[in-house]
Copies of this chain bind each other. A is one copy, B any other.
Amino acid sequence: MATNSDRQVWVGFDLDGTKMLAVVYDDRFRPLARLRKRTRGHDGVKGGMKRMAATISEALDAAGVGGDRLAGIGVGCPGPLDLDRGIVLETPNLGWKNAKVRAELEKVFGCPAVIANDVDAGTYGEYRFGAARGARCALGVFPGTGIGGGAVYEGTILRGRKGSALEIGHIPVIRGGALCGCGRRGCLETVAGRLAVSAAAAAAAYRGEAPKLLELSGTDVGAIRSGPLAKAIAGGDVAVESIVREAARTVGWAMAGVVNTLAPDRVVPGDGLVEEMPDLYREEVVAGLDGQVMPSFKGTYKVVVAKLGDDATVKGAAAWAQQTVAPSEA
The interface of chain A, by Cβ under 8 A from chain B, is: 80, 136-137, 149, 153, 158-168, 170-173, 175, 182-184, 250, 253-254, 256-258, 260-263, 265, 291-297, 300
Contact present for A183 and B260 (CB under 8 Å): no
Contact present for B254 and A160 (CB under 8 Å): no
Distance A187 CA – B175 CA, assembled complex (angstroms): 14
Distance from A140 Cβ to chain B, minimum over Cβ atoms (Å): 12
Identify A172's interface contact among B159, B184, B292, B297, CB under 8 A: B292
Identify A160's interface contact among B172, B295, B300, CB under 8 A: B300
Contact present for A263 and B296 (CB under 8 Å): no
**A137 surroundings in chain B (CB, below 8 A):** 160-161
Distance from A214 Cβ to chain B, minimum over Cβ atoms (Å): 30
Contact present for B261 and A262 (CB under 8 Å): yes
Distance from A10 Cβ to chain B, minimum over Cβ atoms (Å): 25
Copies in the complex: 2
Distance A152 CA – B257 CA, assembled complex (angstroms): 18
Contact present for B295 and A184 (CB under 8 Å): yes
Contact present for B165 and A158 (CB under 8 Å): no
Contact present for A257 and B172 (CB under 8 Å): yes
Contact present for A294 and B254 (CB under 8 Å): no
Contact present for A253 and B172 (CB under 8 Å): yes
Query: Which are the 10 A-B pairs with shortest beta-carbon distances?
Result: A160-B263, A171-B257, A165-B263, A167-B260, A170-B294, A170-B260, A167-B294, A183-B295, A136-B161, A172-B292
Q: Which residue of B lies closest to A291 (CB)?
A: B184
Contact present for B261 and A165 (CB under 8 Å): yes
Contact present for A171 and B300 (CB under 8 Å): no
**A168 surroundings in chain B (CB, below 8 A):** 260-261
Distance A293 CA – B254 CA, assembled complex (angstroms): 16
In the assembled complex, 6 residue pairs joining A and B whose CB atoms fall closer than 8 Å, in A order, are A137-B160, A153-B153, A160-B263, A170-B260, A172-B253, A172-B254
Instruction: Supply 13 further A-B pairs (C-beta < 8 A) apart from A136-B161, A167-B297, A258-B261.
Output: A80-B296, A137-B161, A153-B153, A160-B265, A164-B263, A165-B261, A165-B262, A166-B261, A167-B260, A168-B261, A172-B254, A172-B292, A184-B291
Distance from A163 Cβ to chain B, minimum over Cβ atoms (Å): 8
**A182 surroundings in chain B (CB, below 8 A):** 294-295
Given A136-B161, A184-B292, A171 and B261 touching (CB < 8 A)? yes
Given A167-B297, A182-B295, A183-B295, A262 and B161 touching (CB < 8 A)? no
Q: Which residue of B lies closest to A258 (CB)?
A: B261
Q: Which residue of B lies closest to A139 (CB)?
A: B261
Contact present for A159 and B263 (CB under 8 Å): yes
**A296 surroundings in chain B (CB, below 8 A):** 80, 163
Q: Which residue of B lies closest to A264 (CB)?
A: B160
**A297 surroundings in chain B (CB, below 8 A):** 160, 167
Distance from A88 Cβ to chain B, minimum over Cβ atoms (Å): 14
